[in-house]
Structure 1
Amino acid sequence: MRIQRCLRSMVVALGVASAALVSSACSKSPQITAESMEDNWALTEQHEPGSVVMTVAQDGQVTALVKDRDGKPIAADVSGSVSVKVPGKGGAPMSAALVPEPKSGGVLLAKLPPLEDDLTEVSYELKVKGEPFKGVLHVPRGGTRELQESAREHQTTQLDGTKGPSGGVLQPVGDDIVEIVADKESGDLRVYVLDLNLKPVPIGEREIKLAIQTASGPDVIVLAPGPDRLYFTGKLDVKVNPTKITVVLKEGGHTHVVLCGYRPGAVIVVGPSAPVIGILVATTWAVKVDVKPTVVVHDDDDDGRVLVIHKHKHKHKGKGKGKWHWK
């Protein structure tokens, strides 16, 4: 009898505990709230009437929040949608409505197809108390998180205000530094790969494309190798300085994507007051690329090392005809 009473008490206790857990789970606040949005790999775009904070995840989940001019979340009278298309691929963009998340303080959610390409164009269109908020993000396969991680990786590289050899804009991408420059008369575009001394070097087997945003809209330019693969070439459709540039660089099976000039946590100003990125210059394309032919000499002492000799066209002081190092 005593055992039965103990068993009954245990069953009742377990039932109460389970009910408490269910009640706790049901009353739990949403995973993402207005307060946690900016810590969730979000990008913030500043419009005239306010700002849009947005994340795009690799699985296609979109999270958005609208703030007023004072930075306060707006939870009422907000509606809109997002659409997605892959640059260079046919078909109409796919759209999804942004739906308010209950008890989140203004967070909106939408579901798009997973990000499967190295660059995807995500457009948003919102109405907040009658005011329009429109914008475009170019996101890599890893979504806005990848853009934030790339920015953090390069945040100690001090290139702000430094011009390239051709007078263009410098941007770290992966292990490289690239210079983006265009002729203001013709709109001819070049991208150089630079060494640590900011001298142009051959592009090798790299591939580069640029997503460019101007007042007339977004454009994606797939660059072609120039003569002898000394630089990349392209053409601007509109001869104006862009307000945003997203760089995609591929090499050796790896793809690196960065938002030009972006710093972690920075607010991106868009619209009529957005600052421009000064890639348009008056140029004669007189910059020479430092081509260093390499001779590989295999050693015979079986220590696994390879002697690499760089031969230069100019003369060195002292003995020898080139520089060498052990690889």
Structure 2
Amino acid sequence: MRIQGCLRSMLVALAVATSALAAPACSKSPEITAESIDDNWALTEQHEPGSVVMTVAPDGQVKVLVKDRDGKPIEEGVSGTVTLKAPGKGGAPTTVELVPEPKSGGVLTAKLPALEDDLTEVGYEFKAKGSELKGVLHVPRGGTRELEENAKNGQDIKLDGTKGPNGGVLQIVGDDVIEIVADKETGDVRVYVLDLNLKPVPIGEREIKLGITRGGGSEVIVLAPGPDRLYFTGKLTVKVNPTKITVVVKDGGHTNVVLCGYRPRSVIVVGPSAPVLGILVATTWAVKVVARPTVVVHDDDDDDGRVIIVRKGKGKGKHKWRHKH
């Protein structure tokens, strides 16, 4: 009997210990909260009724926080879905409902398929305090983190307000500076690769696609090489200046993806009040393409604060941007 009593005491003690170990797991803190989501590679889109803070991970994990006009997290009464539309797959989009993350201060989560393409369209539709918030993100395989990191890499070089030789929008993508421009009459799009003097050079073996977002819709345009590989060409389905352009440039086994004009941790204005990217211009395509890339030799003792480009290769226009402080 004494042995049985000892066994019962041991079993009770073991059960108590097991319960004590399990208790912290039940009260586990959320991975991301309303206070920390901005520090976890999230993009913020500002709508009229409020803002959407969203992070998309490579494995398809989505975390969202909706804020009111005053920037305060809305902790209750938010519902909605996120939809993944993979380009060129031919299948139906995947739509998943968001669920609240307990003890997170208003963060909602959803699990989409993993990001397998170099550019994937992720749309969202939310309802909060009687208002609807709809939008689209074009994200690379690395998710929103990759967009944030690529924005950091190019933030020292200022091209804001500078127009390209054809009057289009300029953007640095990896080691390239490109011009995005479209004919406002036909909707024909061209993308040029530019040299040190912002003159077009041959595109080499690059590949480029654009994720276009505008009021009322979005699209992904896979551009084709133009004659003699002097530029890329494509066509807008709607002749309206976009509010967002996400650019993919592949070259030499490397892929770079950037959101045009985006700075790390900045707010992206969307909706009717969003500023547009003026790529639609009246053009005659009269700008000539330089036959060979420029070679610039940089003297490290020169401290004039200029932006330096170093080019090499036959017709590829490979180069490196550096901003000296």
- Give the TM-score taking structure 2 as reference length: 0.83
Deviates more, 1:225-234 or 1:126-135: 126-135
Equivalent position SS for 1:151:
helix
Match of 2:73 in 1: 73
Cα displacement (A) at 1:28: 3.5
Q: Over aligned residues, Cα RMSD in angstroms?
A: 2.2
Tell me the distance in 2 between the aligned counterparts of 1:93 and 1:309: 41
Cα displacement (A) at 1:196: 2.5
Match of 1:277 in 2: 277
User: Is 1:196 aligned with 2:196?
Assistant: yes
Moved over 3 A (4+): 12-26
Larger Rg: 1
Percent of matched pairs sharing the same residue: 77
Cα displacement (A) at 1:16: 8.8
Tell me the distance in 1 between the aligned counterparts of 2:185 and 2:285: 13
For structure 2, the residue ranges without an aligned partner over 5 or more in a row are 1-11, 295-311, 315-325
Aligned AA (2:129): K
Match of 1:111 in 2: 111
2:202·2:292 contact (CA, 8 Å) conserved in 1?
no
Match of 1:216 in 2: 216
User: Is 1:165 aligned with 2:169?
Assistant: no
More relative contact order, 1 or 2 (CA 8 Å, 6+ apart): 2
2:33·2:107 contact (CA, 8 Å) conserved in 1?
yes
Tell me the distance in 2 between the aligned counterparts of 1:85 and 1:273: 26
Cα displacement (A) at 1:130: 2.3
User: For residues 11-61 of structure 1, what are the alpha-carbon distances to aligned partners after superposition, in whole Å with 9 as ceiling and x for unaligned?
Assistant: x99999886665444334211100001100000010110000000000000
Tell me the distance in 1 between the aligned counterparts of 2:22 and 2:206: 54
Match of 2:238 in 1: 238
Change (3 A) 1:172 1:64: same
Aligned AA (1:172): I
Match of 1:315 in 2: none
Tell me the distance in 2 between the aligned counterparts of 1:293 and 1:236: 29
Match of 1:121 in 2: 121
Aligned AA (1:44): T
Equivalent position SS for 1:144:
helix
Match of 1:91 in 2: 91
Match of 2:102 in 1: 102
Match of 2:297 in 1: none
Change (3 A) 1:160 1:24: same
Match of 2:133 in 1: 133
Tell me the distance in 1 between the aligned counterparts of 2:155 and 2:293: 33
